[in-house]
Each structure stands twice: as structure tokens, then as C-alpha cells.
Amino acid sequence: MSAFSMRLLGRFLISSVLLGAWASVVQARDLPDFIDLVKSSTPAVVNISSSQKPHASGTRRPPSGLDLPDLQDDPSIGDLLRRFFGDQGGGDDDDNAPAPDSRSLGSGFIISEDGYILTNFHVINDADEIIVRLSDRRTFVADIRGTDKRADIALLKIDASGLPVVEIGSAKDLQVGEWVLAIGSPFGFDHSATAGIVSAKGRNLPQENYVPFIQTDVAINPGNSGGPLFNLDGKVVGINSQIYSRTGGFMGLSFAIPIDVAMDVADQLRASGKVSRGWLGVLIQDVTRELAESFGMERSSGALVAKVFPDGPAAAAGLTVGDVILEFDGREIADSATLPPLVGATRLNSVVEMTVLRDGKRKTLTVTVGELPVEDTVETASSAPPAVRDNRLGISVAELSAAMRDSLGVERGVVVTEVRQGPGRRAGIQEGDVVAKINGLTVEGVADFEQRAEGLPAGRSIAVLVHRQEGPLFLALKIEP
């Protein structure tokens, strides 16, 4: 190689190195700097330790907020939402030995200079004593001023003044892809900071109907529960609450309660000691592709009404079973999980318009929002059915007993006593289900059921309303031609 070629190669290599260094500097410059945020926010973040006395019987109880099924019986349950939990305390291998005090580590943050603190309900649930430790190592015994299990929020109070406080922001302005930072005590390591981005907004999780969660990829672990989630402006936008994990540790999916929801709860707890939420008085479900076909819908959207509670707001507004709620107060209902947070956040006695799909036509109803009851569950039937009859769907049915009618609150229908191979099993019908409607028509009894079953068209989906332990449910049934 000539001297000239060598000089060109050298210049090329030098230019490449300089270009790479310049690109690294530019990239580093574009990344957020969390130093000032952590310094200014850490003093208002606290460590929470809650203890429970041993049971008189000597039996152990799980850490606060931990309620997990046996994962060996059903591996799929490994993909569930696990409440954060901390140290379970020391233990004796002898199951008959008295259980020691258990300690559940979590986090929280100060929202007022006179000592009000927000954390998760599951961090302090069933606690006999709650210890709050500040960043300057001072410790206080906290009082519970109010809790809301549905939103997983607890409001605590310590006897102090002039405390550092966080700056409250809003989750409404968050954008997917935006940087966020969490500060908490994972595994008891106080004031650990971890950062990531907002992965999604408005996540609705199983058994959490009234919270539109913020999903992030911020590293969250046991002990972060109840701690704040900050945006780059140093404002709290959420409370770290849950993780999605196969192992109980962080796997890249964490969920935070929007601060707007949490502060509304806190304000109500401070004012009255309880939380009121809007209520329609319905049970709803998703509209699947097959159900959308049965209702003549072009796409699967909205919330399908499976039950209307008597004397509830929805019943007074004229809502009926089989209606599909498409809009609530001017907001589109993408699926059934979208509706409860909207209704829950609506002030009591507000008059709201709903758009529903009924018999293939859009209809506008006006509803006065009521107050969500303390318990809004439906009991199920437990008595044995009478004699069995067969039908073309591959299921056996029987008349409803008076006890089953009273227990389920069902006036008409038939109970399924056996499910064999056929359209019924493929649709998801189970033994013990009460079939109340077929193709929009009420089932009066066994004879009526058989007549409706025989007249069903083949080759297209038909909606069937059943009542079961979890409540009423629409299923899509198709008889093959």
C-alpha cells in the first residue's frame, strides 16, 4: 500500500472515531438527567413497615396483600397480578409454633406538611402498627385516616409538621413513551430510584374495575408498593401498585394508579372518611367477534349488558339485558373494561346520556348516576334441579326450582344438567348454567327451550344468555350447517 493510501486510511479511521464519539455525546445529551429530580423528591418519600400480632391459634397468615392460588395446580395462574409484599418475618419450621410478628415493607409519600401520607391499601391491610421512616431516619407511628380497597389506596397521618412534600401532577397529560421515575424501598433498600418509560395508559386489570392503570417498564420490586411515580418535571403522576410476573419479581411490566384517581380518593377520605363512586346497576361483558356477528355489529366494541339490577339507575333509565353500551357521557366505550372507571368517576346524581345498540339500532338513554353499593355481588343457585330433558344442542336441561329462582334472582329459564359434545360445549355452556335467553328471546321453561333450540338457524352465531356462579354471561353459539 502506498504512503498516500496509508494517509487516507488513517484520516478515515480518525474521522470514524471522532464521528462515533460525537454521536455518543449527542445520544447522551438526549437522555434525561434524573439527578436533580431525585435530590428534590427523595425527602418526601417514606418507608412503611406494618406489623401484625401472632394469631392466638398459632397459625401463620400470609403477608398483607398476598392472596395467591396454588400455581402448581394451574401453571397459567403464574401470569397473574401479584401484590407487592415484603419480608414475611422470621419463622419456625414447626407449623404448631406461635407465628412471630410479620413485617410488610412498602413505600409511601408525603402529600401535606402536617403529615398526611399516601400508600397502597395492601401495604397496611390488617396491620396492628404502622411505622413510617423518613429520609432523615426519623420514625413515626402512623394512624390510618381512611382506606379504599377498590382503588388500593390508604391515607395515613403522622404527628409532625413542616415536612417535605411531593408536587402533585396529573396522569391525564402523560404520553406513551414518556420517561418516568420511581422512588421506593425495594426489598427494604430505602430510597432506590429506577427509571423507564410509560408503556401504555388506561390498562384495566382483573378484579380492578375502577382504576385505569398506567403501565410502565420501570424496574419495580417488592417494597416499591405505595411509592410515587414521577414525570420529568418532578411531579407525581402515579402510585406504584402492581406487577405482572411469573416469579413474583420484576419482569418488565409494572402498573401504577393514576395520581388523579388517588388524590380524588384521598380528598374524599379526608372529608368524610369514605369513598363514593358512581353506579349504573348493571353487569357487563365484552362483545366478542362471534357476539358482534349475532347482534349484527360490524366490529366488536362496547359493553354488553348481561344483567340489569332492579331499582338501579340503569333500570330506571330503561336499559335492558342485551343492550350494548357504545357511549357514556359522550365518550366511546371500546370494551367492557372501559365503562366502570368512567362511571365510577362520575359524581353522584349526575344526569348522563348513554348511546346503546338495541335490536340493531342506536338509541340514546338518559341515566341519573347512583352510588356504588358496598357490596355489588350476585349470589348463585345451590339446589339440585329436577328431571332432565334432551335437545339438539348436545346439552340436557331441566326446569328451575323455586329455590334457584330466588337465589339467582332469575324469573325464567332452564338449568343445564349435562353438557356433551356439540354446539353447546363449543359455545362454553357448562353444567349448572341457567339458560335465560336464546337469540334475544326469553326461555320460559324446558318446552319453550326445546322449541327455540329446534328453530335456531345454522351457520351463524346466536347469542345465548346464561347465569352462572360468576354472574350472567352472553355466549355465542353456532350450529354447523
pLDDT digits (tens, 9 = 90+) for 245-270: 766 667 889 999 999 999 999 999 99
Question: Between the CA atoms of 275, 258, 255 and 278, what dihedral angle is there, to the nearest 10 degrees?
Answer: 40
- Calpha distance 133→239 (Å, rounded): 18
Residue 433: band (very low, low, confident or very high) from pLDDT cuts 50, 70, 90: confident
224: amino acid identity, one letter: N
Pick the residue with more confidence: 312 or 83? 312
pLDDT value at residue 411: 77
C-alpha cell at 44: 418526601
Identify the residue with better confidence: 92 or 152.
152
pLDDT > 70? residue 437:
yes
Residue 133, class by beta-carbon neighbours within 10 Å (0-12 exposed, 13-18 middle, 19+ buried)?
Answer: middle
Looking at residue 106, its pLDDT comes to 92
Domain boundaries, the chain: 32-275, 278-371, 389-478
Point out which residues pair with 154 in neighbouring strands.
119, 147
pLDDT at site 66: 38
CATH of domain 278-371: 2.30.42.10
Rounded to an integer, the average pLDDT of 96-114 is 75
**CATH class of the domain at 32-275:** mainly beta
Higher pLDDT, 330 or 207: 330
Q: Once rounded to an integer, what is the mean pLDDT over residues 369-397?
A: 58
- Tell me: the pLDDT tens digits for 292-342? 888 888 888 999 998 898 889 999 999 999 999 999 999 999 888 889 989
Q: Which of 2-6, 341-345, 413-417 has the highest mean pLDDT?
A: 341-345
- The pLDDT, as a whole number, for residue 365 is 96
Dihedral over alpha carbons 63, 69, 70, 76 (to 10 degrees):
-130
Confidence of residue 67 (pLDDT cuts 50, 70, 90): very low
Q: Map grid coordinates 346503546 to a residue.
A: 356
> Quick check: do 278-371 and 389-478 share a fold?
yes
Catalytic residues: 122, 152, 225
Fold annotation for 389-478: Pdz3 Domain (2.30.42)
Contacts of 474 (CB under 8 A, 6+ apart): 285, 291, 304, 306, 322, 463, 464, 465, 466
Mean pLDDT value across residues 211-237 = 94
CA dist 472 and 436 (Å) reads: 9
Higher local confidence (pLDDT), 13 or 246: 246
Q: 271 CB contacts (<8 Å, ≥6 apart)?
A: none
Cβ 460 vs Cβ 478: under 8 Å: yes
Q: What integer pLDDT is reported at residue 104 of this predicted model?
A: 61
Identify the pLDDT of residue 337.
85
**Looking at the chain, how many residues does it have?**
481
Q: Which of 261, 35, 280 is nearest to 168 (CA)?
A: 261
Confidence (pLDDT) at 419: 84
Residue 48 has pLDDT above 90, yes or no: yes
State the pLDDT confidence band at 381, using cuts at 50, 70 and 90: very low
pLDDT of residue 62 exceeding 90, the answer is: no
pLDDT band at 93 (very low <50, low <70, confident <90, very high): very low
Q: What is the mean pLDDT of residues 419-442?
A: 85
Binned at pLDDT 50, 70 and 90, residue 29 comes out as low
